[in-house]
């Protein structure tokens, strides 16, 4: 069995590539890279083809996550066919993705923070107009959620 996970934010330059990079590393450390696919996308086409925001890359790299190979792309309807989980960062992303998702694939759409193990937050807030603390908060939430997500994925693969 294989499993594919897609992370989604607005422009695919801050939150979703951060989650992509963190979860990719968690999957690799767990020895699951051969059966778990990880990707990210944005609900808007503002940054298609761009690398992650330099601030996201800087803060992620401080924690050992290299995002430099990632490139922004836009979420599309076919993603709901390909991916088993489509994890959005906030309610706006959820609403847009829900409109795009075919009815028979809507069950795949969830918020990343549903997988948080210790932190309490309904969403991963957009750090774009915040300072360093905004990007650190994103990483804190993403790492916590990815811990829970890895457990969920491992249970699904059994």
Could you read off the pLDDT of 10-36 as tens digits, one per residue? Answer: 999 999 999 999 999 999 999 999 999
What does residue 57 show for φ and ψ, rounded to 5 degrees?
A: -65, -45
Nearest to 19 by CA among 158, 108, 124: 124
3-state secondary structure of 14: coil
Q: Which of 78, 79, 139, 75 is nearest to 112 (CA)?
A: 139
Report, as an integer, the average pLDDT of 114-129.
Answer: 96
Q: Is 126 a catalytic residue?
A: yes
The answer, yes or no, to whether residue 1 has pLDDT greater than 90, is no
Q: How far apart are CA 21 and CA 103, in angstroms?
A: 29
Of 14, 15, 55, 111, the active-site residue reads 15
pLDDT (0 to 100) of residue 158: 85
> Residue ranges per domain, the chain?
3-157
Task: Tell me which of 3.40.718.10, 3.40.50.2300, 3.40.50.10860, 1.10.3720.10 is the CATH number of domain 3-157.
Answer: 3.40.50.2300
Among 25, 39, 126, 144, the active-site one is 126
CA atoms within 13 Å, Cβ hemisphere of 26: 21
| Structure confidence by residue, pLDDT tens digits, 29-39 | 999 999 999 99
Q: For 35-60, write each residue's pLDDT tens digit.
A: 999 999 999 999 999 999 999 999 99
Which pLDDT score is estimated for 88?
98
Reading the block at residue 115, the tokens are 């997988």
Residues 72-120 have pLDDT tens digits of: 999 999 999 999 999 999 999 999 999 999 999 999 999 999 999 999 9
Instruction: Report H helices in 30-131.
Output: 54-62, 79-82, 91-100
Residue whose tokens read 């309610």 = 91
The predicted pLDDT at position 71 comes to 98
E-assigned strand segments in 10-83: 36-42
Query: DSSP state, 70?
Result: -
Q: How far apart are CA 14 and CA 99, in angstroms?
A: 22
Of residues 55, 38, 74, the one with CA closest to residue 150: 38
């Amino acid at each position: 069995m294989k499993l594919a996970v897609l992370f989604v934010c607005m422009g695919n330059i801050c939150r979703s590539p951060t989650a992509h990079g963190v979860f990719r590393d968690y999957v690799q450390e767990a020895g699951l890279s051969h059966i778990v696919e990880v990707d990210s996308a944005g609900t808007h086409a503002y940054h298609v083809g761009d690398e992650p925001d330099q601030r996201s890359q800087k803060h992620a790299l401080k924690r050992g996550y290299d995002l430099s190979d990632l490139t922004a792309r836009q979420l599309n309807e076919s993603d709901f066919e390909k991916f088993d989980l489509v994890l959005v960062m906030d309610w706006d992303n959820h609403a847009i993705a829900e409109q795009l998702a075919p009815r028979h694939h809507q069950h795949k759409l969830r918020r990343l923070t549903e997988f948080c193990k210790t932190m309490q937050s309904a969403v991963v807030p957009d750090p774009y107009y915040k300072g360093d603390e905004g990007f650190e908060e994103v990483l804190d939430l993403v790492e916590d959620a990815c811990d829970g997500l890895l457990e969920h994925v491992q249970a699904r693969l059994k």
